[in-house]
Structure 1
Amino acid sequence: MANDLKPTADFEETFGKLDIRLGQVLSAEPAPGTLKKSYRLKIDFGKYGVRTSVGRFTGHPPEELIGRQVMGVLNLAPRQIGDVQSDVLVLGIQFRGAESGEATPVTPMTEGKLGSKLF
C-alpha cells in the first residue's frame, strides 16, 4: 500500500456532502485575466442548468472539449478566477507530461444523462 495515502475519511462527512454531476461542455474559450493559461467553459448540467467553470484544460484544443461530457462539483462556493466567476469545479487529473495544475477532465466511458449524480 502506498505511504502517501491520506487518512481514512467518513463517507457522509466527506464525499457524501459533494454534489458531483454529469455535464456537457457547450463552449471553451481562453479565460480572461487568469495568472496561468486557462479556459472558461460553459457546461450544461441538464435540469441543474448551465454553469461556468474556469480550468487549466489547455492541453486540449477548445474544439476537443466542446461536446465532451465531464464531471463537475455543483455545490462548492463560487470562486473568482481572473475576470470570471467559476461556479462549478470540473474534476480532472494531471495532464501527462504537463506542469502541475494542467489537467485533463474526468469523463465517462459512455454518454450518460446530463445531471446524473456520481456515486
Structure 2
Amino acid sequence: MAEIGFDDFLAVDIRVGTVTRAEPYPEARKPAIKLWVDFGDEVGEKKSSAQITAHYTPETLVGKQVIAVVNFPPRQIGKFMSECLVLGLSDENGGIVLLSPDKPVPNGGRMH
C-alpha cells in the first residue's frame, strides 16, 4: 500500500453522526439500507446507502452513532443519492460492522 502524507489524511473529513432515519433499500443491486445521518450544525444531515444488512436492520440503526467521510462528492446509488460514506470493517464472513465511538460524543465531531 502506498504511503500518504499527513496533509493527505487531513484532507479526508471524517466525522461522527447519529442515524436519524433508516429504510430498507431493496432496489439496490446488493442488499443495502438507506441512512439519514445528523452530523451537527456545521455539516447538517447527509444520506448514505450502506451494504450493512448482515448485522443491522433499519430499526436497530436509528439512534446509533456512526463514523463517516463527509467530503466525498455525492454518488448516485440506483435511484438514491448517497452524500457520505459510512465506514465499517468486514467480519470473517464479509459482513460489514460499522465503526462507531464506544462512548457518546457530540454529532459533527471530526476524527483526529
* Alignment TM-score, normalising by the size of structure 1: 0.86
Larger radius of gyration: 1
Q: Does 1:97 align with 2:97?
A: no
Instruction: Compute the TM-score of the two structures, normalised by the length of structure 2.
Output: 0.91
- The alignment yields a C-alpha RMSD, in angstroms, of 1.3
AA matched with 1:9:
I
Residue 50 (structure 2) aligns with: 55
Give unpaired runs (5+ residues) of structure 1. 1-5
Unaligned stretches of 5+ residues in structure 2 = none
Instruction: Provide runs of 4+ in structure 1 moved above 2 Å.
Output: none
SS of 1:12 mapped into structure 2: helix
Identity of aligned residues (%): 35
Q: Is 1:68 aligned to 2:61, yes or no? A: no
CA distance in structure 2 between the aligned counterparts of 1:49 and 1:8, rounded to whole angstroms: 32
Whichever structure has more helix as a proportion of its residues is 2
**CA 1:66–1:96 in 2, change beyond 3 Å: closer, same or farther?**
farther
Assess, with a 3 A threshold, how the Cα gap between structure 1 residues 95 and 56 changes in structure 2: closer, same or farther.
Answer: farther
Taking the aligned partners of 2:99 and 2:21, their CA distance within structure 1 comes to 17
1:107 maps to what in 2? 100
